[in-house]
Amino acid sequence: MKVLRLVLAVAVAVLVAGCSSHKSHDRSDTSQAETVLPLIKPIRVAPQPFDYYVVGTGQVTTDKAVQIFPEIGGRILRVYVREGDFVREGTPLVKLDDQPLRDQLQQVQAQYDLAKAHYEKVERLWQKGIGSEIQYLEARTRKEALEAQLNLLRNQLARTVVKAPFSGYVHRVFAREGELGAPQKPLVTLVGNGSIYVDVYVAERFVKDIRRGQKALLDYSAIDCQETGTVLYVGPYIDPRTRMGFVRIRRTEKHCPVVPNMSVYARIITRHYDSALVVPLYSVIEDAAGNPMVLVLKPTDTQDTYVLESRSVTPDVVTEEALVVREGIQPGELITGRETRALTPGQTVRIEKN
């Protein structure tokens, strides 16, 4: 019995020692877990210049890029230019067959000469009181009608030579010798050295914010070049199919080698802040009602630790990347950064040191 009691006593002692060891180890783990705080990289809010802009896409246009059509029909006899040629204003481009017009002009000329001689004879007699007034008026009317027909034919004859309306480069040549030219068929495309603009389209809800003279940032991705411009014109019309408004921009910087029809991405600055509190959108969360708020770092009694305080903010403008705060935070305050979505109000954090 004494031996049995001794064995039981030893077993109880071992169990008590084991339980004590486990409790001590659990308290150590709990204490260690309590001291491990999230490390974050906060953002210090500071006043800074900020531009709010409206985005639009479009293309480069010019007031001297035209397709040239013949004003009259006729067979194409000569094509004087090739693609890439530089021509000056008035340079012949295409020659149409003018023989039918010349034949018609010769016939009308003979009729006119006869009508003119008859009118002059009737006029002399009329001045002497010979003949009736109706004879005089008929002779004059016929002479004047044939004279007008002659001028029309001479005008049409001159148009058989299609000339360049301005100086520029021949971009395309559609005319082929021997083909029949018609007013519905273009002969050449001519691109001049006129004013080059940027025409863009913006969503209809932004049209009311755009004004003449506002600055625009132009990005030509095809040639990896950027320059600035100013708004020249805002169209008073919304396209019913695309729900987009038209804006024409004048280039103020002209160092980018743009050509007509090149695509462009434009940012039109509709509001400028000399000093604004700007918060990136990844630092903004929403409350239960959907209102924006940020997590502000407030110091605790423990060194280098902060508690997160939720703070509602009133935005002035919101862009795709940032929010301009009208009220809710003060300059110099620290707010959470990219890790905001993983944090909660009231949580204690530490700042990651560089």
Q: Write out pLDDT tens, residues 261-280.
A: 899 999 999 999 999 999 99
Q: Check if the beta carbon of residue 101 is closer than 8 Å to that of residue 160.
A: yes
Q: Is residue 84 part of a domain?
A: yes
pLDDT at 13 over 60: no
- Same domain for 149 and 255: no
- What does the pLDDT read at residue 263? 95
Task: Specify the pLDDT at position 123.
Answer: 87
Asked if the structure places residue 299 within a domain, the reply is yes
pLDDT digits (tens, 9 = 90+) for 279-320: 999 999 998 888 999 999 999 988 889 999 999 999 998 888
Contact residues for 239 (Cβ-Cβ < 8 A; gap 6+): 201, 245, 246
Lowest mean pLDDT among 34-43, 144-153, 215-224, 335-344: 34-43
pLDDT of residue 163: 94
Average pLDDT over residues 19-35: 45
pLDDT of residue 2: 40
Specify whether 281 is located in the same domain as 343. Answer: yes
Query: What's the domain count of the chain?
Result: 4
**Could you tell me if 290 and 152 lie in one domain?**
no
Radius of gyration (Cα) for the chain, nearest Å? Answer: 43
| pLDDT value at residue 124 | 87
Query: Does 350 have pLDDT greater than 60?
Result: yes
Asked if residue 19 is part of any domain, the answer here is no
Domain encompassing residue 347: 39-50+275-351
2 inside domain: no
Backbone angles phi, psi at 141, to 5 degrees: -65, -40
Residues 112 and 131 in one domain: yes
- The pTM score is 0.63
Average pLDDT of the chain is 87
Using N-to-C axis directions, what is the helix angle for 99-127 and 133-158, rounded to 10°?
A: 160
Residues 123, 117: Cα–Cα separation, whole Å: 10
Final residue belonging to a domain, choices 222, 251, 273: 273
Of 273, 303, 327, which one is at a domain's C-terminal end? 273
Who has greater pLDDT, 198 or 65?
198
Note whether 337 and 290 are same-domain residues: yes
Please check whether residues 59 and 198 belong to one and the same domain: yes
* pLDDT score for 35: 59
**Spatial contact of 306 and 350, defined as CB atoms under 8 Å apart:** yes
Is residue 174 in a domain? yes
In a domain, 28, yes or no: no
Residue 27 domain-assigned (yes or no) = no
Q: Is 186 exposed, middle or buried (0-12, 13-18, 19+ CB in 10 A)?
A: middle
Going by C-alpha positions, the residue among 83, 85, 86, 60 that lies closest to residue 257 is 60
Residue 16 has pLDDT above 50, yes or no: no
DSSP string, 236-255: EEE-TTT-EEEEEEEES---
| Shared domain check, 283 and 229 | no
Nearest to 206 by CA among 293, 266, 294, 287: 266
Q: Cα–Cα–Cα angle for 224, 227, 228, nearest 5°?
A: 150
Q: Judge whether 181 and 175 are in contact, CB under 8 Å.
A: yes
Residue where the block lists tokens 């990289």: 41
Burial of 285 (0-12, 13-18, 19+ CB in 10 A): middle
Claim to verify: residue 290 and residue 329 sit in the same structural domain:
yes
Average pLDDT on 39-54 reads 92
Is residue 24 in a domain?
Answer: no
Residues 76 and 183 placed together within one structural domain of the fold: yes
Assess whether 174 and 74 both reside in one domain: yes
Q: Do residues 91 and 108 lie in contact, with contact meaning Cβ atoms separated by under 8 Å?
A: no
CATH number at residue 60: 2.40.30.170
Q: Where among 140, 159, 178 does a domain terminate?
A: 159
User: Is the domain of 225 the same as that of 168?
Assistant: no
Percent of the chain with pLDDT over 70: 90
Q: What is the maximum span of the chain, computed from C-alpha positions, in angstroms? A: 176
User: 282 and 219, same structural domain?
Assistant: no
Tokens 């308290």 correspond to 27
Looking up residue 80, the CATH number of its domain turns out to be 2.40.50.100
